[in-house]
Amino acid sequence: MDLLQNDWVEQLSNDSNAVILDVRTEDEWSEGIIPNALMINIYEGQGFIYKVDELDKNKNYYVYCKAGGRSAQACAIMNQLGFKNTYNLVGGFSQWNGEVTFPEEN
């Protein structure tokens, strides 16, 4: 389901069963993330499917990428894998005006 940023944030803040999923590349990830996001790069192809399929399908996933296209694709893939609740951030990280953190250096 596509949600505009305000709806995505409001629903996320009231969801105790939420997981934030960033499907961007590692280079994009290093430029900043939405706090507490988990990264699985959609460009990994089959690797993305394997990693996503290991996630708890009973959770609610709030998915974002840079502009909203890859995350919409990720939601469609996740729905095919049996995830019931996936929420795409329309406009993605490029239009995000909420809090941003930076991932820890490995």
Q: Which of 21, 42, 65, 75 is catalytic?
A: 65
Q: Does 75 qualify as catalytic in the annotation?
A: no
Strands (E), the chain: 2-3, 18-22, 38-39, 60-64, 86-89
68: left (phi over 0), alpha (psi -120 to 50) or beta: left
Catalytic annotation, residues? 65
